[in-house]
Amino acid sequence: MSQEYIFGWHAVDAVLKREPDRLQRVWIQTGRQDKRVKAVTGALDGLGVRWQIVHRKELDERVSGVHQGIVAAVSASKEWTEDDLLSQLASSEKPPFLLVLDGVTDPHNLGACMRTADAAGVQAVIVPKDKSATLTPVARKVACGAAETVPFVRVTNLARFLREIKEQGVWLIGTAGEADATLYQADFNGPVALVMGAEGKGMRRLTREHCDQLINIPMAGHVDSLNVSVATGVCLFEAVRQRLG
């Protein structure tokens, strides 16, 4: 069985609560004796999962990133396929609410987008298999557990996938700085997918051409763009406001 490492308290706690069968072994930095450590080690004991107190150097050697004093070896999570998602959309009673990230290559930004997507109730995050960040340990740590709750789907041909969900009635709203309409003029009710492009370059041409509507975020200051994870949060929660109303 393939194995991967996760780190950070939120990421490990999310697996412990939602997918405990994946846990294989846990290492915790020496010197920590707070309630959080006792709660986690108690739960691990209940599951029969081995854990060990080690020096920080050993954790630093296992992973690269701010591990916060905890690292876990877990069995690799099942990756959702395009067919899995399309099948779920066809059978779900809820109108689809999706996030598409085209060309987001920074794992920190991907993790932040996953965390926001979870908070907003997004049903899946979709990325192209090429030129996109994946759920690395860093992305999972930044996601604070959202990587274990929000389906993450990598598609071979993003343009083809967008055509397929349009055929299922999903309205594609893309973001572009030069768009005439603003975020607040878009209608996020019903089946919808928000499409975000990479910082600087934005969406690729084919992705842009498949969008039903292009919008921009009104900028009142001297800065002409936002970090992609911040822009994603702004757009998703305008969608949440509308969908709750």
H helices of the chain, in order, are 9-18, 35-47, 56-62, 82-91, 107-120, 137-143, 158-167, 205-210, 228-244
Structure tokens at 242: 């509308």
Helix (H), strand (E) at residue 50 = strand 50-54
Interacting residues of 128 by C-beta distance below 8 A, sequence separation 6+:
102, 103, 154, 155, 156, 157, 158
197 annotated as belonging to a binding site for a ligand = yes
217 annotated as belonging to a binding site for a ligand = yes
Residues comprising the binding site? 197, 217, 226
Residues comprising the binding site for S-adenosyl-L-methionine? 197, 217, 226
